[in-house]
Amino acid sequence: MNIAIVFGSHRTIGRNNEIEVAIKQAAFNHDFDFIRLAKTNITPTLTETEADDSFDDILKRLKFADVLFLIIPVYCPYPSKFVAFMERLLDVSYQNSNKPLKGKPVAIFYYCSNKICDETPLKVLFQKYLMDDYRFDISNYEKYLNAEINPNEKYNHNITEYILDVIKSL
**DSSP symbols for 58-118:** HHHHHHH-SEEEEEEE-SSSS-HHHHHHHHHHHHHHTT-SS-TTTT--EEEEEEETTEE--
Each domain of the chain, given as residue ranges in start order, spans: 2-168
User: Average pLDDT for residues 160-165, to the nearest whole number?
Assistant: 95
Long-range contacts of the stretch 129-138 (C-beta < 8 A, 24+): 129/90, 129/93, 129/94, 130/89, 130/90, 130/93, 130/99, 130/101, 130/102, 131/99, 131/101, 131/102, 131/103, 131/104, 131/106, 132/102
pLDDT the model gives residue 141: 61
User: pLDDT digit string (tens) for 96-115?
Assistant: 677 888 888 899 999 998 89
The reported pTM is 0.90
CATH of 2-168, one of 3.30.470.30, 3.40.50.360, 3.30.420.10, 1.20.1080.10: 3.40.50.360
Q: How far apart are CA 21 and CA 99, in angstroms?
A: 32
